[in-house]
Structure 1
Amino acid sequence: MQVASRISAKQVSRAVVCRAQSKQSPAAQKAAAVVAGLPALIAASPAFALVDDRLNGDGVGLPFGINDGILGWVLVGVLSLVWALWYNAQKDLGDFEDPDAGLKIDDRD
C-alpha cells in the first residue's frame, strides 16, 4: 500500500490590510502642497488684477458693469425711451376686448 505524503501548506489569511506610509516630514508635505497649488494661483493671476477708473469693470461684481454713475443714467434713459415709444405705438392697436374686431378672412357679412 502506498501512503500519500501530506504537503503542509501555510494558512492563507483572508483579511487584507492596506496602509499608506509617508516617509516625508510634515514640512516637506506642506511644501509639496504649496508647490501643487502654484500653477492654479499663477493661472488665476489676471483675476487678481487691480481695476481702476480707466477700466470697464468686467467681472468685478459691479451691477450691469456700471463703474460710473452716468452710465447708469444712460441705461435708464435708453430703456425709458424705448418703453415710451412702444407704449405710444401700441395705443392705436385697441383693447382686443371684442373678438370680432380682429382680422377678417373675407368681407362677407
Structure 2
Amino acid sequence: MLCSKVQTAPVAKAGLRMALPRVGAVRVNASMQQQAKKAAAFVAAAPAMLAASPAMAIVDERLNGDGTGLPFGVNDPILGWVIVGVAGLVWALYFAAQKDFGNFEDDESGLGL
C-alpha cells in the first residue's frame, strides 16, 4: 500500500499568495514479508489450478445429456435421427411450397431485388 505525504504551504510569487501542495517523501507501508506470503500462497495454489482436470459428467440412460458436451444433447442415436428427420421434413415442405410462388424474374413480382 503506498501512502504519500502532502503538505500545503503558502507560496509567494510576484506579489500573489497561493496555496500549492508541497510533495514530501513517499513511504511504502507494505512490508516485504507480506508480499512474500502472498507470492508463496500463489505459487502453492498455481499447480493445483493448472492441473485440475474438468469434472466429467456422468451420462446415464435416464439423463437427457444437457451440459455433458454431447452435440445437441443427443445421448441416444434415435434422438439424432429424430432431429435430422424433423429438419428434413421442414426443408421438404418449404421446398415444395416455394415452387408455387414462381421464379420472380419479372420486375412486378415484389419479392425479387
Q: Give TM-score, length-normalised by structure 1.
A: 0.52
2:72 aligned with 1:64, yes or no? Answer: yes
Query: Post-superposition shift, 1:48?
Result: 6.0
Q: Where is the strand percentage greater, Structure 1 or Structure 2?
A: 2
Aligned partner (choices 30, 49, 60) of residue 19 of structure 1: 30
Which secondary structure does the structure 1 equivalent of 2:108 belong to? helix
Taking structure 1 as reference, are residues 88 and 49 closer, same or farther at Cα in structure 2, changes over 3 Å only? closer
Aligned partner (choices 70, 79, 89) of residue 81 of structure 1: 89
Q: Where is the helix percentage greater, Structure 1 or Structure 2?
A: 1
Letter in 2 for 1:89: A
Query: Post-superposition shift, 1:99?
Result: 1.3
Taking structure 1 as reference, are residues 49 and 66 closer, same or farther at Cα in structure 2, changes over 3 Å only? closer
Alignment of 1:1-109 (within 5 A): 14-20=25-31, 21-22=33-34, 50-101=58-109
Taking structure 1 as reference, are residues 16 and 94 closer, same or farther at Cα in structure 2, changes over 3 Å only? same
Q: Which runs of 5+ in 1 are unaligned?
A: 1-12, 35-46, 103-109
Q: Give TM-score, length-normalised by structure 2.
A: 0.51
Q: Which 4+ stretches in 1 moved above 4 angstroms?
A: none
Letter in 1 for 2:58: L
Q: Cα RMSD over matched residues?
A: 2.8
Identity across the alignment (%) = 59
Given that residues 57 and 68 in structure 2 are in contact (C-alpha distance below 8 angstroms), is that contact kept between their aligned partners in structure 1? no
